[in-house]
């Protein structure tokens, strides 16, 4: 079955898998602008995380004032750079217990937000790569 084309919001230009997707139209920043006031280690965390995400396939990076969203057909991860750490989440099609997740929110049987906190680039490791591989399938809507 062919994929439906992405819908583009006529106001902000952001693309979504679902027509008339509920969202907040916000001006996108550059990645440099989004990381302007963070510690060098936070920049390392973000750059390594993005590199791991891009290993999965094409990723649209959407830097906003408060977060950096990662999207394939739909959002599958987000980062919130802080001064000395990065808070973030991945969206998985199942609950995945892992001591590195600080919170798991279940929205439906195949939609579970897994929140994490990273304090060093070394924490962006094979385990995070595995989370991203699974989350990317959600972003491509292959989990349905």
∠ Cα 35 8 11 (to 5°): 75
pLDDT at site 8: 75
pLDDT at site 136: 97
Per-residue pLDDT of the chain (144 residues; tens, 9 = 90+): 457 787 777 777 677 666 766 767 777 899 999 999 999 999 999 999 999 999 999 999 999 899 999 999 889 999 999 989 999 999 999 999 999 999 999 999 999 999 999 999 999 999 999 999 999 999 998 766
**Which pTM was predicted?**
0.86
Q: What is the DSSP string of 47-83?
A: HHHHHHHHTTS--EEEE-SS-EEEESSSEEEEEEE-S
Side-by-side strand order, sheet with 111-118: 60-63, 68-71, 75-81, 86-92, 111-118, 101-108
pLDDT at site 121: 98
* Level-2 CATH architecture, domain 28-139: Alpha-Beta Complex (3.90)
Look-up of token digits 């950096």: 68
Break the chain into its structural domains and give their ranges: 28-139
pLDDT at site 23: 62
């Amino acid at each position: 079955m062919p994929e439906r084309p992405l819908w583009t919001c006529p106001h902000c230009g952001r693309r979504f898998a679902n027509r008339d997707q509920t969202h907040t139209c916000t001006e996108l920043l550059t990645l440099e602008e989004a990381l302007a006031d963070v510690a060098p280690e936070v920049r390392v965390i973000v750059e390594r995380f993005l590199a791991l995400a891009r290993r999965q396939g094409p990723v649209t990076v959407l830097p906003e004032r408060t977060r950096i969203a990662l999207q394939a057909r739909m959002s599958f991860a987000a980062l919130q750079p802080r001064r000395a750490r990065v808070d973030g989440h991945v969206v998985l099609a199942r609950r995945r217990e892992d001591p590195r997740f600080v919170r798991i929110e279940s929205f439906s049987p195949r939609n579970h937000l897994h929140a994490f906190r990273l304090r060093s680039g070394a924490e962006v490791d094979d385990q995070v790569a595995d989370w991203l591989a699974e989350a990317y399938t959600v972003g491509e809507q292959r989990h349905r």
